[in-house]
Structure 1
Amino acid sequence: MSEATVDVADLRPSGSPTDPDDRTDEPLRADIRLLGRVLGEVIGEQAGADVLELVEATRVEAFRIRRSEVGRSELADRLAQLDLHEANHVVRAFSHFSLLANIAEDVHHERRRRHHRREGSPPQKGSLAASLDLLDEAGLDGDVVARELAGALVVPVVTAHPTEVRRRTISQVQQQVTDLIRQRDDAGPYGIDERAWAAHLSREVLTLWQTALLRLSRLRLADEIDEALRYYDLSLFEVVPAINTELRQALRARWPDADLLATPMLQPGSWIGGDRDGNPFVTADAVRRATTRQAETALRHHLAELICLADELSMSDRLVTPTDELYALAEASGDDSPFRGDEPYRRALRGVYRRLAATARRVLGSVPGEEPDVELSPYELPEELIADLTTVDASLRSHGAGALADDRLARLRDAVEVFGFHLCGLDMRQNSAVHEEVLGELLAWAGVCEDYAALDETARVELLTGELQLRRPLVRPGAELSELARGELDLLVAAAEQVALLGPRAIPNYVISMCESVSDVLEVAVLLKEVGLLDPGAEGGPTCSVGISPLFETIGDLQAAGTILAAMLDQPLYRALVANRGDDQEVMLGYSDSNKDGGYLAANWALYRAELALVEVARANGIRLRLFHGRGGTVGRGGGPSYEAIRAQPPGSVAGALRITEQGEVIAAKYASPDLARRNLEALVAATLESTLLDIEGLGTEAEDAYTLLDDLAARAQGAYRALVHETPGFVEWFRAATPIRELAELNIGSRPPSRKAGDKITDLRAIPWVFSWSQARIMLPGWYGTGTALESWVDGDPGRLAQLQDLHERWPFFRTVLSNMGMVLAKTDLELAARYAELVPDPELRDRVFSQITAEHERTVRMLLAVTGDDQLLADNPSLARSIRNRFPYLEPLHHLQVEMLRRRREGDDDELVRRCIQLSVNGVATALRNSG
């Protein structure tokens, strides 16, 4: 597109966001129109006028369909007649339309937030400022706050659960377009050369069009590690320390006599490289790579900041008088340059740099930055580096340079406090069945027990507790073991090496998938002992640097969670281990498998009930419980707004601390820029504060009645869900035919296989492809099915019972959040489009039998949801999402029709590479437009 093709008036949205009276979405609509027009011009230039005409006619028809002006059949038939090259162009065009609409939407959110700040609007719900206002209103006692926030911790844990289908290259171009729109907004009416700006925008969209959307090969684990680490430079290095500092200052200003937040409350975590449950690529080398790359990222940041700091702190001791401690630091630096003879700060900071470089060389084998010319002794601990930075801080303040101390120096010191030399904690995870098999082999090799698997639970616990009282290992180095056992032991040895090198914060937790018993926990303890991470003979009792976290996933496991935790703590040895970890015990809760097992409402209620039981056990045993929420991006996997989700937790379940997974495309949506990261991280911290210090549940003496009612509803919902998913003959066949589940396995979107093991059962399938497939077919079944039956059958036409539900919806955050999230899913469901996917089921009787159940339950669920909420339409409580759907969903229309057509061709035997590519491109485009699809 040449510069002359863009009308200057198109470059700036009408209703300028700088106008404080502008409360409309016209700037958003103008941005979408502009980006769409530029993309159209690029398509015309690159693919030809015929393709542009086809794309434009399809776009017009898609919007007419969304406005209910015409039916779908005509567009579907016309698209089905396209040749493969035309279809490929249409899929690519609408995928890019969706991506560009997302950009406009994200920028508009930022625009509105700036407007509110500029206008002095009250703090927005979910912000730190709003939560602090609520704490002020509550008039809390400082001793209570100190007690409740002891050990306060909020950890977003990035995981390698891949539903982010975009390539990194595409994300980079997307960021360039985002920056251009921000630049125009920030510059004001006359602050940019609009012709040059338009040319730059055109170049970026041209780059987007000529860049392949799909990867040529499957992501490797190393790629996933590196992809996650880039968000530190994009936002986390800036935002995480800032939030911690602001929070600590705000709380200490309110309660100066309470020793609050001695350590940072907000700390990052990761599973990528440590989560080997079902991922054969997570090996000992992967653990070393993950922890080493994390350390490299942290140390590179700290070293670069020290160089900048030394450049900035140019003060001469001919003009100021630094402290004796600062002079001592300068003298120890080894810097004898005559040019810095009167610049003690620069000499001191060069010495700090040299020591940190030596630390990097010890940890990494090289320096990720400028190689120093003088070698000093390394820092052993981050606290030593913090002490030196504190010396610089105190000296600056002593001669009136506090403003300088509060700038880059303060940010660096805060960053070292949070990220240390390790950057973030890497959790380990493995399935309990693997632990059982490996430990059984070790016990047999050592002659302790020939057939561990044959023992009952009581005998297993007795044997394991006996082993945990002995320091001696079960096997010697080099013992001949199976590939599985050797791989697991080597991986744990690598973990122990990295803990010794980087400190215990490098690997803080070991998560046990499918934990069903006390022996499942003790097996891990024995394996940790085997590599020296657990010491049963330490002075003062057994110690372990790694916390053991049972993960309860299925409905049955969640119902047994409290009983299992109580039994764990009844074991004197394990209780002593917990005591030596500060009486802290973490428990992880699985949202995905519980949903796949029992459906949306039953899973959510099982989680709530499990938390209540776990809190009671923790109180009875005098321990501090920390819950780790394994949430996915979609509502069917525990997704939805984090702030509301945390506030919807049961009383006592947050208790100042939580960890929460961040997965798939959600990571980019939350952390791609400082503004996004601040908003989302503040929401986590704010909700944690409110849930810990305020009465959020609000049920009072009526709580047990409400719980009993939900027990009944959950049982009804689970029955309806299981009747379809687990008991309907042919359901698995229907699911595999009516969704692109088989084709998803061909997408190069992650290192982990889509199934835990080979098989054709729903239970064998991982929750991510299960939910992802339903999303692609626009059925979204995991996010709602069964709830309509539960609500309708319980109300049974009784106005009084309906009023009870309406009252609970009004007063109870849990119930309100569950229904609100379900409403979001139902608004994204489109059963007319789903019917097109159902046509792919070859058996007409099976096709109609299953789909009729789905459509009947959908109608029932929407009707009952609106009856309970009192709304007249879906998303009445979420106008922002309603607007987003209006803007983005027309671009989905042709993608779905072409996906169905290509699936039909592929399954009829058409092996053309372009058919496969069209399917994959359509999956990419649908995921982009839906935004939280997996």
Structure 2
Amino acid sequence: MNETVDDPVLEHDIELFTRLLGDVLREHSRKRVLVVVERLREGFMQLREGEDETLRARLRARIEGLDPQTLAEVIRAFAIYFGLVNTAEELNAHLQRMARVSSGERLWRGSFDDTVRRLAADGVAPAPFQSLLEHLVYLPVFTAHPTEARRRTIAEIFRRIFLAGQDLHRHRLNDEEREDKLAEIRAQIQILWKTDEVRVHKPQVTDEVRQGLYFFRESLFGAVPEVYRILEKAVRRVHGAATAAAVPSLMRFGSWIGGDRDGNPFVCPETTELAVRMHAELALEHYLERVGRLQRMLSHSSALCEPAPAFLDSLDADEDYWVETMGQSLRRFLNEPYRRKLAMVAHRLEANLARVRARLAEAETLPAAGYCDARAFLVDLRLIRDSLIHHGDASAAAGPLHDLIRLVETFGFHLVQLDLRQESSRHTEAVAELFARQPGAPYYLAFDESQRLLALVEAIVHPQPFVIDKATLGAATRETLETFETIARARAEVGEQAIGQYVISMTHEASHVLEVMLLARLAGLAGRDRQGWFCTLQIAPLFETIDDLARIDAVMGRLFTDPTYRALLRASGDQQEVMLGYSDSCKDGGILASGWRLYEAQRKVIALADEHGVACRLFHGRGGTVGRGGGPTHEAILAQPADTVHGQIKFTEQGEVLSYRYANPETARYELTMGISGLIKASRCLIESAAPERAEDLEVMAELAAHGEAAYRALVGTEGLLDYFYACTPVDGIALLNIGSRPAHRSRGDRSLSSIRAIPWVFGWGQARLTLPGWFGIGTALARYRGDDPERLVRLRRMYGEWPFFRVLLSNTQMSLFKAEMAIAREYLRLADDPPRAAALLAHIEAEYRLTLSEVLAVTETDRLLADQPALRRSLLRRNRYLDPLNHIQVVLLERYRGEPEAEQREQWLDPLLRSINAIAAGMRNTG
């Protein structure tokens, strides 16, 4: 399966990194390790050229003859190789982009330059383009689902390798300098070899919060201002400086880390408070660092320039603060007004930071805050900027000062909007208990939906709905009430933006939303006072099963027509956020039904919101893999239904995706650019009419989805399928891997499809190289739809060529098919409890795989998968030479681990088993 290499620079870097890894293994590993690695790699490469059962048996015997420690080192060598390949690919992609920028040629599709030029060529003038920009909000939300297998320490080492590799390419080095740089890379690989990539302990939620903060500190604080700068340049280049649109700060960031309590017993009110404070601490620390640099830089003398009157007035107004609060001499910085102002800015920020740290330390007394909020900080920064421009120093205002203003506009003092999430039944139980504690109250759980809505509305509007004695309540209800009290405290402490949405997972009815509104009412977050209705909590219902997606309009329609809810929504800003669950809908009904129900749900809810005069923002709960809604962000945004992306997009960034997209600022800059340019294109409906989808295409998709769902449900409903899944994938090892605080199942001990979370469901199939959540049912659907009718095939081909939704669907399907390896999956049959039944199930899966492969190639009119994405195809191919032996090793480890009767003997196989899961995840660039 060798293919022509047309990227010699990348191949050279991979070869270089691999050679340096070999040097390190030769000197610092056990003597057999490098030999075993090479023999396995070469042997399995031969098997790729043609099946040889004798060779496969010989390789299997070699693996079975290795002791646990040697196996662990072999696996670590493979894992480091994958990390080095990932780094080389990321580095070379960045260098290629920079080369195109330097050459002055037309930039890539999705760049700001290309996007603004295309809109201008289509007749979009500066004024409507300005209007479009002012409506944009780009909001990625970082989550800590148990999918990120790489420790922060390992990420830092790979960052150093990335920078050293960049120096090799971008600097003119003599022989001695080049050798020094190679020695630096080799030293980092050596450190990597001697650093344990597997966590010794399962991470706590606070560890996950710190992991999330890493991406801001190391990458995003630098990347975000650069993204704005690149967009500004593109707009000026196309429209000219005189008429160019002003670029507003359109990025915001969210997080679920420390707020997502659905099924995670380790997220409690104290955890949420801690996360909010850690966010604020990092933002303030960074601002102080940048203010210090500005203070050293803006050394302007009032004898040589004349600051703006407004700025001088602010200095006069701050004189008492300077002397009394700071204790400074009037003579200090007497003739350096910007240094004087920035010294006061820094002092205020230090006071804010001291207050946050006192809360983190749970101090009894708190120091006074410097700034009341981030807006006051921005006022000072803008005064400095405007004054510099006033006396002709716009160039000084446009550099680091402008970057700091962008950061504060983006991150405030809160850094991220922390969303909270809880499963709907928890609220129902809490509300039922509150009703039950009131004298003469009816039994809430016995009510039908209409009765529940009536009871909830009456309680919300009542001046004092309940008399609550927390001491008499159950622990779960007390914690639920305390969560809402925590929200109120966090908003008061850090600012109104510290808390984002309250997400209700498994929203089945309108009452699930009003239950949360009632709980918010009890915490003082919503209600009615002398001024009328108020609401400071925004609620996002999450629709995540096939049935719930189909009923989204019924549930939201009931809410929009309820006068009380409508009044509260209006009081909160009249914007309704609705979250769509990709993961569970795919696990529930398969990839085709999930994709189509999500598409339909978006069209329904946006039309409904428009009908009721409500602004609606869709929140896409995407995962890293195709089976959980993953895929390139730019294409995913463009594939949304016409006229549904009204300038705003919000989506989750989960697990390994955070490392791949945001660990390096160079890549983060690219990913943010691609996402924002996709948002710009998808939001043209704000300034011009959107072309509607073809009715015929929608009908075809509905039919395809029905066929796909039937095929998928038939599979997961087959007797023994779940037994096959638990036996022939390493899902039991995944549950033990210290990569996340969340349990793998919603209910302990329940191994049903409804209990297992979507992440281990996708992760397990991926590890065994079946990847079926990303493709199963598509082949049957396409074959049943087109039958022997050539006109139907033509119709499918036109849909693929013209409809972004269908094109992205089949493009992502191709990636999932390419990562699947049926020959490897057959090796896992050795683990089956019921081999004949497992073999029959795999034969059924293989048949669908072959059918899907054939049908997809027929529709895309290509002779091989990913033909239109050669770089991705080569990337996946080069990993197979190491993935194949890893899968065989994993099968042996699972046999040993599960087969040992004694716990002590079994434990020796657990470490290499967990390492194999980590390594395969790194090789496939997918976990969950």
- Please report the TM-score for the alignment, with normalisation by the length of structure 2: 0.93
Query: d(CA) in 1 for partners of 2:687 and 2:20?
Result: 48
Q: Which of 31, 51, 54 is equivalent to 2:33?
A: 51
Compute the displacement of 1:298 (Å). Answer: 0.7
Is this contact kept in 1: 2:444–2:452, CA < 8 A? yes
Compute the displacement of 1:359 (Å). Answer: 2.6
Q: Which of 740, 747, 754 is equivalent to 1:750?
A: 740
Q: In the alignment, which residue of structure 2 is the partner of 1:457?
A: 449
Query: d(CA) in 2 for partners of 1:235 and 1:202?
Result: 24
Query: d(CA) in 2 for partners of 1:99 and 1:132?
Result: 35
Q: In the alignment, which residue of structure 1 is the partner of 2:550?
A: 559
Q: In the alignment, which residue of structure 2 is the partner of 1:421?
A: 413
C-alpha distance 376-429 of structure 1, shift in aligned 2 (>3 A): closer
What SS does structure 1 have at the residue aligned with 2:683?
Answer: helix
Query: d(CA) in 2 for partners of 1:722 and 1:744?
Result: 25
Q: Which of 776, 788, 792 is equivalent to 1:785?
A: 776
What SS does structure 2 have at the residue aligned with 1:839?
Answer: helix
Compute the displacement of 1:148 (Å). Answer: 5.8
Name the aligned partner's letter for residue 856 of structure 2. Answer: L
Query: d(CA) in 1 for partners of 2:285 and 2:628?
Result: 36
Query: d(CA) in 2 for partners of 1:450 and 1:256?
Result: 68
Give aligned-pair identity as a percent: 38
Compute the displacement of 1:474 (Å). Answer: 2.4
Q: In the alignment, which residue of structure 1 is the partner of 2:653?
A: 662
Q: Which of 16, 20, 24 is equivalent to 1:38?
A: 20
Query: d(CA) in 1 for partners of 2:233 and 2:374?
Result: 22
Q: Which of 361, 365, 372 is equivalent to 1:380?
A: 372
Which residues in structure 2 correspond to 1:113-512 (within 5 Å)? 113-140=97-124, 151-190=135-174, 193-244=177-228, 247=231, 264-331=249-316, 332=318, 333-334=322-323, 335-336=328-329, 338=331, 340-365=333-358, 378-447=370-439, 449-472=441-464, 474-476=466-468, 478-512=470-504
C-alpha distance 697-401 of structure 1, shift in aligned 2 (>3 A): closer
C-alpha distance 377-928 of structure 1, shift in aligned 2 (>3 A): closer
Compute the displacement of 1:504 (Å). Answer: 1.5
Is this contact kept in 1: 2:639–2:808, CA < 8 A? yes
Q: Which of 886, 897, 916 is equivalent to 1:922?
A: 916
1:28 aligns with 2:30: no
Q: In the alignment, which residue of structure 1 is the partner of 2:364?
A: none
Query: d(CA) in 2 for partners of 1:554 and 1:765?
Result: 14
What SS does structure 2 have at the residue aligned with 1:763?
Answer: coil
Compute the displacement of 1:808 (Å). Answer: 0.7
Compute the displacement of 1:305 (Å). Answer: 1.1
Q: In the alignment, which residue of structure 1 is the partner of 2:42?
A: 60
Is this contact kept in 2: 1:699–1:811, CA < 8 A? no
What SS does structure 2 have at the residue aligned with 1:446?
Answer: coil
Name the aligned partner's letter for residue 156 of structure 2. Answer: Q
Is this contact kept in 2: 1:38–1:202, CA < 8 A? yes
Query: d(CA) in 2 for partners of 1:599 and 1:390?
Result: 52
Q: Deviations over 1:221-261 (max 9, x none)?
A: 00000110011122211222443465578669969999988
Is this contact kept in 1: 2:449–2:511, CA < 8 A? yes
Q: Deviations over 1:746-781 (max 9, x none)?
A: 111111111111212011000001000011000001
Q: In the alignment, which residue of structure 2 is the partner of 1:715?
A: 706
Name the aligned partner's letter for residue 140 of structure 2. Answer: P
C-alpha distance 790-182 of structure 1, shift in aligned 2 (>3 A): same
C-alpha distance 129-694 of structure 1, shift in aligned 2 (>3 A): farther
Query: d(CA) in 1 for partners of 2:210 and 2:815?
Result: 33
Query: d(CA) in 2 for partners of 1:189 and 1:453?
Result: 74
Compute the displacement of 1:814 (Å). Answer: 0.4
Compute the displacement of 1:397 (Å). Answer: 1.8
Q: How many residues align?
A: 904
C-alpha distance 395-518 of structure 1, shift in aligned 2 (>3 A): same
- Segment of structure 1 superposing worse, 216-225 or 396-405: 396-405
What SS does structure 2 have at the residue aligned with 1:873?
Answer: coil
C-alpha distance 284-452 of structure 1, shift in aligned 2 (>3 A): same
Compute the displacement of 1:341 (Å). Answer: 2.6
- Please report the TM-score for the alignment, with normalisation by the length of structure 1: 0.93
What SS does structure 1 have at the residue aligned with 2:815?
Answer: helix
- Segment of structure 1 superposing worse, 870-879 or 200-209: 200-209
Q: Which of 616, 638, 641 is equivalent to 2:629?
A: 638
Query: d(CA) in 2 for partners of 1:811 and 1:345?
Result: 56
What SS does structure 2 have at the residue aligned with 1:745?
Answer: helix
What SS does structure 2 have at the residue aligned with 1:510?
Answer: strand
Q: In the alignment, which residue of structure 1 is the partner of 2:67?
A: 83
Query: d(CA) in 2 for partners of 1:447 and 1:236?
Result: 54
C-alpha distance 137-259 of structure 1, shift in aligned 2 (>3 A): closer
Query: d(CA) in 1 for partners of 2:646 and 2:345?
Result: 39
Compute the displacement of 1:376 (Å). Answer: 8.7
Query: d(CA) in 2 for partners of 1:58 and 1:732?
Result: 32
Name the aligned partner's letter for residue 305 of structure 2. Answer: V
Query: d(CA) in 1 for partners of 2:259 and 2:360?
Result: 25
What SS does structure 2 have at the residue aligned with 1:491?
Answer: helix
1:97 aligns with 2:81: yes
C-alpha distance 395-148 of structure 1, shift in aligned 2 (>3 A): closer
Is this contact kept in 2: 1:809–1:868, CA < 8 A? yes
Q: Which of 694, 712, 715 is equivalent to 1:724?
A: 715
C-alpha distance 695-547 of structure 1, shift in aligned 2 (>3 A): closer
Which residues in structure 2 correspond to 1:575-594 (within 5 Å)? 575-594=566-585
Is this contact kept in 2: 1:586–1:626, CA < 8 A? yes
Compute the displacement of 1:698 (Å). Answer: 12
Query: d(CA) in 1 for partners of 2:232 and 2:527?
Result: 35
What SS does structure 1 have at the residue aligned with 2:472?
Answer: coil
Is this contact kept in 1: 2:645–2:682, CA < 8 A? yes
Q: What residue ranges of structure 2 are gaps of 5+ in the alignment?
A: 362-366
Query: d(CA) in 1 for partners of 2:466 and 2:504?
Result: 21
Q: Which of 516, 519, 527 is equivalent to 1:527?
A: 519
Query: d(CA) in 1 for partners of 2:176 and 2:345?
Result: 42
Name the aligned partner's letter for residue 913 of structure 2. Answer: I
Compute the displacement of 1:809 (Å). Answer: 0.6
Q: Which of 574, 592, 597 is equivalent to 1:601?
A: 592
What SS does structure 2 have at the residue aligned with 1:505?
Answer: coil
Query: d(CA) in 1 for partners of 2:678 and 2:110?
Result: 7
1:693 aligns with 2:684: yes
Query: d(CA) in 1 for partners of 2:291 and 2:222?
Result: 15
Is this contact kept in 1: 2:897–2:907, CA < 8 A? no
Query: d(CA) in 2 for partners of 1:219 and 1:711?
Result: 43
Compute the displacement of 1:350 (Å). Answer: 0.6
C-alpha distance 225-448 of structure 1, shift in aligned 2 (>3 A): farther
Q: Deviations over 1:91-118 (max 9, x none)?
A: 1211111111111111111121122112
Compute the displacement of 1:317 (Å). Answer: 1.9
C-alpha distance 176-404 of structure 1, shift in aligned 2 (>3 A): same
Compute the displacement of 1:810 (Å). Answer: 0.8
What SS does structure 2 have at the residue aligned with 1:74?
Answer: helix
C-alpha distance 604-59 of structure 1, shift in aligned 2 (>3 A): same
Name the aligned partner's letter for residue 724 of structure 2. Answer: W
Query: d(CA) in 2 for partners of 1:398 and 1:515?
Result: 55
Q: Deviations over 1:407-442 (max 9, x none)?
A: 111111121111111111000110111110011111
Compute the displacement of 1:519 (Å). Answer: 0.3
Coordinate RMSD, CA, aligned: 2.5
Compute the displacement of 1:444 (Å). Answer: 1.6
What SS does structure 2 have at the residue aligned with 1:468?
Answer: helix
- Segment of structure 1 superposing worse, 507-516 or 699-708: 699-708
Query: d(CA) in 1 for partners of 2:278 and 2:214?
Result: 11
What SS does structure 1 have at the residue aligned with 2:259?
Answer: coil
Compute the displacement of 1:450 (Å). Answer: 4.1
Name the aligned partner's letter for residue 868 of structure 1. Answer: V
Is this contact kept in 2: 1:360–1:367, CA < 8 A? no
